[in-house]
Amino acid sequence: MKHISDNFTKEVDKLLSVTNNIVIVTHANPDADAIGSSLGLYNFLIKKGQNVQVITPNSYPEFLWWMPGNKSIVNFTEDKKIAIEKIDKAQIIFYVDFNETSRIDKLEKYVSKSIAIKIIIDHHPLFNDKADYTLSDDKASSAAELVYEFIALLNNINLIDVEIAKCIFAGIMADTGCFSYNSSKSRTFEIVAELLKFNINKDEIISNLYDNFSSDRFRFLGYCLNEKLKIFPEYHTAIISLTKKELEKFNFKQGDDDGFVNYPLSIKGIIFSAIFTEKDKNVKISFRSKGSFATNKFAKQNFEGGGHINASGGKSDLSLEEAIEKFVCLLPNYKNELDED
């Protein structure tokens, strides 16, 4: 559903007519859309003469470091003091690519007690009604697409430059898996067409994001697919599970498993895919689906999670083995929905 606060444009326009200390926050374990949308917005607001700081709750993979403005980002886990100081001084805080404050982990405490005006720009189902202004559309391809819409609403398309275009393009491209999903609306392509007019090097961006595996990560993918894939044909479902030991064996770094959960959906007949990863305190689970099977509902009902219909996540305090067993036992309850497509 699309949600824009009453008078959004007028009020935000007024806010930005003077210089503010602005903080942009995005979700933990930032992906290309999180960084692309944050930096797209960052570069735009800098051009508007604002004092802007992007803060991430934790680190993110090296293949995102090329984005214009990346060097200015503060990572809370590394620079707590600066991050807290910036949040304390902020007059406006943007929530980009998330809306529930639980998604920003330890930053939540500081952001929630800040008296700054909160503005959401997000494409996840909206659960936060405490923000002052909201631009949200869970049908949008990405938060980056909504950053473009934000700029358009403010009538500032003229301020978009090659740096902003690169960031927004990267976010849209990554969150649609190179335009293979979440991208059935013509509007997404209209925006992309506009961005390409800035002579951004599309092939280089794709290469930056996708042809950037370390050899460990590449072998890790091979291992996941060859050794760890389990298929449940009667439920059109496939899963991969990973123990801490296995992660260590491949020198796992944050982001190394990005996108792996999508691979099983390439198997004929598979419409639901999940990856179970053993973490220090719990098991992290990612879900993906094709068609109408609502993974966010499944995640919410069974694994304390949520997200989009076709892409969501959850967690379990059970052991890895028990979490998988729970998952497998649940499948018969969803047989009708899994058979629909």
Please report, as ranges, the residues that interact with Mn ion according to CB under 5 A: 33, 97, 142-143, 175
Cβ proximity of 320 and 328 under 8 Å: no
- 286 Cβ neighbours under 8 A, 6+ residues apart: 261, 274, 275, 277, 311, 312, 313
What's the CA gap between 166 and 67, in Å, rounded?
Answer: 7
Least Å from the CB of residue 147 to Mn ion: 11
End-to-end CA distance of the chain: 23
What's the CA gap between 195 and 113, in Å, rounded?
Answer: 37
Least Å from the CB of residue 122 to Mn ion: 8
Q: Which residue lies nearer to Mn ion by CB, 2 or 14? A: 2
Least Å from the CB of residue 287 to Mn ion: 15
Least Å from the CB of residue 98 to Mn ion: 8
Least Å from the CB of residue 72 to Mn ion: 21
Rounded to 5 degrees, φ, ψ at 284 are -95, 135
Q: Which residue lies nearer to Mn ion by CB, 146 or 224? A: 146
- 208 Cβ neighbours under 8 A, 6+ residues apart: 63, 66, 170
Please identify which residue in the block is written with the tokens 């894939």: 229
Least Å from the CB of residue 124 to Mn ion: 7
Q: Which residue lies nearer to Mn ion by CB, 13 or 105? A: 105
What's the CA gap between 238 and 227, in Å, rounded?
Answer: 13
Q: Which residue lies nearer to Mn ion by CB, 69 or 307? A: 307
Residue nearest to Mn ion (CB): 33
Tokens of 186: 């013509």
